[in-house]
Chains A and B, each alone.
Chain A
Amino acid sequence: MKTAERAQAIAQAAAPLGSLLGSTTADALLHWVEAELGDAAALDRWVTHGEARCKAVAPDNILHVVSGNTPHAALQTLISGLILGSSNLVKLPRGGIPEVDDFISRLAADLAAKITVGEELRDDWIARATAVVVYGSDETVAALRAKVPSGKIFIGHGHKASAGIVWEDENYVSCAGAARDTSLFDQQGCLSPRVFYVRETRPGFARNYAEKLAQEMEQYGRLYPRRPLDVAERAEIANLRAAYTFRATGDLRVAIWAGGPELDWTVVYEEDPWFPSSALSRVIFVKPLPEDLAAVLGPHSAHLGAIGLWPCTEELADRFFALGASRFCPIGRMQDPPWTWHNGGVARLAPLVKWVDFEG
Chain B
Amino acid sequence: MQDHVEQTSRWEKTLATWIATPAAEHFADILPQLHAFHFRHNAAYRAFAKSSGVAEVVADWRSIPCVPQDAFKHADLRSFPEEETIKTFRTSGTTGEGFGQHHFRTLDVYEAAVREGWKLGGLTRGTLLVLAPHPDEAPHSSLSHMMAILAAREDFIARGGRIDVARLQSATQAVCLLGTALGFLRLFEEMQTLGIRLQLPPGSNALETGGYKGSGRDIARTDLYAMFTDYLGIEPGNIFNEYGMTELSSQFYARGPRGLHHGPPWARAVVADPVTLREVAEGETGILLIYDAANVGSVVGIRTRDLAVRRGKAFELLGRDPAALPRGCSRAADEWLTR
- Residue numbers of A with Cβ under 8 A of B are 67-70, 73, 93-94, 135-138, 157-161, 185, 188-190, 192, 230-240, 242-243, 245-247, 249-251, 261-263, 272, 274, 276-280
The reply to whether A243 and B48 contact each other, CB–CB distance below 8 Å, is no
Residue numbers in A under 8 Å from B323 (CB-CB): 230, 232
Total residues of chain B contacting the partner, CB 8 A: 35
B322 at the interface (CB under 8 A from A): yes
The reply to whether B335 and A263 contact each other, CB–CB distance below 8 Å, is no
Residue numbers in A under 8 Å from B160 (CB-CB): none
The reply to whether B68 and A137 contact each other, CB–CB distance below 8 Å, is no
B311, chain A: closest CB distance, angstroms:
16
The reply to whether B329 and A137 contact each other, CB–CB distance below 8 Å, is yes
The reply to whether B327 and A232 contact each other, CB–CB distance below 8 Å, is no
Q: Is the interface of B mostly helix, strand, loop or mixed?
A: mixed
1/0 contact string of B268-305 vs chain A (CB within 8 Å): 00000011000000000111000000000000000101
The reply to whether A235 and B274 contact each other, CB–CB distance below 8 Å, is yes
B179, chain A: closest CB distance, angstroms:
26
Contact of A230 among B68, B325, B330, B336 (CB under 8 A): B325
The reply to whether B335 and A277 contact each other, CB–CB distance below 8 Å, is yes
The reply to whether A246 and B71 contact each other, CB–CB distance below 8 Å, is yes
| Interface set, chain B 1-60, CB cutoff 8 A to A | 44, 47-48, 51
Knowing A93-B326, A246-B74, say if A272 contacts B339 (CB, 8 Å): yes
Contact of A69 among B44, B47, B326, B333 (CB under 8 A): B326
Residue numbers in B under 8 Å from A160 (CB-CB): 329
A126, chain B: closest CB distance, angstroms:
21
Within the assembled complex, what's the spacing in Å between the Cα atoms of A246 and B323? 27
A-B contact pairs, 25 of them (CB 8 A): A136-B329, A159-B329, A159-B330, A159-B331, A160-B329, A189-B328, A190-B330, A192-B328, A231-B285, A232-B307, A232-B323, A235-B274, A235-B287, A239-B68, A239-B287, A242-B70, A243-B68, A243-B337, A245-B51, A246-B74, A272-B339, A276-B336, A278-B333, A278-B334, A279-B330
Residue numbers in B under 8 Å from A279 (CB-CB): 327-328, 330, 333
A219, chain B: closest CB distance, angstroms:
22
Knowing A68-B326, A69-B327, say if A236 contacts B71 (CB, 8 Å): no
A137, chain B: closest CB distance, angstroms:
6
Residue numbers in A under 8 Å from B219 (CB-CB): none
Contact of B329 among A189, A240, A249, A280 (CB under 8 A): A189
1/0 contact string of B309-335 vs chain A (CB within 8 Å): 000000000000111011111111111
Residue numbers in B under 8 Å from A135 (CB-CB): 329
The total of interchain contacts (Cβ-Cβ below 8 angstroms) comes to 119
The reply to whether B275 and A238 contact each other, CB–CB distance below 8 Å, is yes
Known pairs A135-B329, A278-B330, A278-B336. 6 more at Cβ < 8 A? A68-B329, A231-B274, A233-B325, A235-B286, A243-B70, A250-B44
Residue numbers in B under 8 Å from A190 (CB-CB): 328-330
Residue numbers in A under 8 Å from B113 (CB-CB): none
Max chain A Cβ within 10 angstroms of own Cβ: one of B275, B334, B339: B275
A-B pairs with the 6 shortest C-beta distances?
A278-B333, A238-B274, A188-B328, A243-B70, A279-B330, A68-B328
Residue numbers in B under 8 Å from A249 (CB-CB): 47-48, 51
Within the assembled complex, what's the spacing in Å between the Cα atoms of A278 and B328? 11
Residue numbers in B under 8 Å from A93 (CB-CB): 326
| Interface set, chain B 233-275, CB cutoff 8 A to A | 274-275
Contact of B275 among A234, A276, A278, A280 (CB under 8 A): A234
The reply to whether B332 and A246 contact each other, CB–CB distance below 8 Å, is no
A30, chain B: closest CB distance, angstroms:
28
Residue numbers in A under 8 Å from B152 (CB-CB): none
B156, chain A: closest CB distance, angstroms:
34
The reply to whether B334 and A243 contact each other, CB–CB distance below 8 Å, is no
B138 at the interface (CB under 8 A from A): no
Within the assembled complex, what's the spacing in Å between the Cα atoms of A112 and B287? 45
B187 at the interface (CB under 8 A from A): no
B67 at the interface (CB under 8 A from A): yes
* Chain B, Cβ-Cβ closest to A157: B329
B107 at the interface (CB under 8 A from A): no
Residue numbers in B under 8 Å from A277 (CB-CB): 330-331, 335
The reply to whether A240 and B48 contact each other, CB–CB distance below 8 Å, is no
The reply to whether A239 and B330 contact each other, CB–CB distance below 8 Å, is no
Contact of A274 among B70, B287, B330, B339 (CB under 8 A): B339
B75 at the interface (CB under 8 A from A): yes
